[in-house]
Amino acid sequence: MTAQHTDQPTLSIPWEGVRELFHSWSGKGDLFAGLAAVLGNDEFSRWTKRDVERRAHRVLFENCGESLQRMPVRLRDWLAIIPVHSRVSPAAGPEPQGRIDWAATRRTGWPPREFVGRTRQRTSDEALLSALRWTVERMLLVYRDSRYNDLRRKKPLVEKQLEVLDELVTRPELQQVEPTLPDVATIKDLRRSGPRWRIVADLADLLRQEEGPDLIALAKAQIVPDEELASALFHLGVFGLVLTSLKSDGYRPVSLRPLHGGASGAAYELVFSGQTWYLWFEAGALWTRYGQVEPYVAATKGLLRPGQAKSPDIMLINEESRRALIIECKYSKDHKYLRSGYSQALAYLTEARTSMIDLGAAFVVAPSEMVATLSTGHTLVGPVSFCAPEQLKGAFRAAFAELRRTGN
């Protein structure tokens, strides 16, 4: 279901469904892992959570470009702004140190047994330096991630600024403190510390958003601008819409496994009026579950590079009544690519009718901007419909009600 790339503006995402999933997700790790579960199902590529994070960091690096351009290109300019304070402390010892208090020294005896005086120590502002170290280290990680597996990419315009940051992070002034994720108060302190520190504050504010609890904001900032990642997010959103549709019918889906993490099998179980349905997310393991070989795998077995099991994006199946609904997600402005969803959905439905089900229907869900109205074609194996996400909920509920009725 991976979309083809274009230079055109990004299409819309079904955020209602995305929010449904995000309710039970704890942070960016769940988001990146969920996207990897979609992208990693491709027959020709495998994605991990870390792969998705690196890809998202390409977008984040571009977002940081303006702040990076305003940063110093010489190390001494950085060292000049590191905040240093003086602190006077009493000192006593066998050797003179700092400014000697001769009266106090005389009271120890003469010749003096020890010299009493005051020393001045220079200390740096630890909070600001900890925030600076975190920001620099995080920025360098994002930059390295943005070039992962693509080192031939043109060097960025901010190469000199990045080289200086690479040198700055090794300085003892930064190494003496632990990197600390800056909070809102620290960001404010950075902004009040001078013009160059305001640049650090702007950069830190961008970088820290990835560590926050607002997954919607993170998805909009770092996922949606990348069309391949947006395609996977669209898939997750459609799955969330299916869950909301089922809940509106009185079902209480029980989670059987996370959508990510390498688990296989149905994602949810639904029991209602004596019927048990299983909701699959990336249903590639469906054939193994039923102890069968997918017809596509059998047909391509004799090739030098045989095919692997193909996976309906979303499938709802009742094993006893042998009924199922299949959903294929297509996210693109390429009309030919969208139309190819028909052959995929029809193939999935035909294969399911071969040995798993007696009745079913399939939907191809495309972005709202690409669908004028819901339309359905009737075939020997069942109806195949094209629809937008907002049309899916009603159409899915109607088709599901019909399958429940005929399955009794």
Please tell me the distance from the alpha carbon of residue 22 to that of residue 212, in angstroms, as a whole number.
13
Per DSSP, helices labelled H in 70-208 are: 75-81, 102-106, 126-146, 159-168, 172-175, 184-191, 195-208
Looking at residue 95, its pLDDT comes to 66
Please tell me the distance from the alpha carbon of residue 325 to that of residue 359, in angstroms, as a whole number.
9
Looking at residue 123, its pLDDT comes to 44
User: Is the peptide bond preceding residue 112 cis, with omega within 30 degrees of 0?
Assistant: no
Q: What is the pLDDT along the chain (408 residues), one digit of tens a residue?
A: 444 443 444 799 999 999 999 998 988 999 999 999 888 766 556 788 999 999 999 999 999 999 999 999 999 999 998 865 445 556 676 666 666 666 776 677 777 777 677 654 444 478 889 999 999 999 999 999 998 866 556 677 899 999 999 999 999 989 988 999 999 999 999 999 899 999 999 999 999 999 988 999 999 999 999 999 999 999 999 999 999 999 988 889 999 988 876 567 899 999 888 889 999 998 777 888 888 889 999 999 999 999 888 888 999 999 999 999 999 999 999 999 999 999 999 999 999 999 899 999 999 999 999 999 999 999 999 999 999 999 998 999 999 999 988 866
Cβ neighbours around 375 below 10 Å, total? 11
Q: What are phi and psi of 121, to 5 degrees?
A: -110, 135
CB 169 within 8 A of CB 139: no
**The two three-digit tokens of residue 309, written as one number:** 């099991």
Looking at residue 361, its pLDDT comes to 97
Burial 145-170 (b: 16+ CB within 10 A, else e): bbbeeeeeeeebebeebbebbeebbe
SS3 234: helix
**Secondary structure letter of residue 338 according to DSSP:** H
Q: In what order do the strands lie in the sheet with 359-365?
A: 254-255, 268-272, 275-281, 314-318, 323-329, 359-365, 382-387, 375-379
Looking at residue 124, its pLDDT comes to 46
Please tell me the distance from the alpha carbon of residue 201 to that of residue 75, in angstroms, as a whole number.
18
**The two three-digit tokens of residue 328, written as one number:** 């294929």
Type of residue found at 172: P
Looking at residue 157, its pLDDT comes to 85
CB 285 within 8 A of CB 61: no
Residue 173's nearest CA partner among 79, 68, 61, 242 is 79
Q: Where are the beta strands (DSSP E) in 32-114?
A: 84-93, 99-100
- The phi-psi region of residue 15 (left if phi > 0; otherwise alpha if psi is between -120 and 50; otherwise beta) is alpha
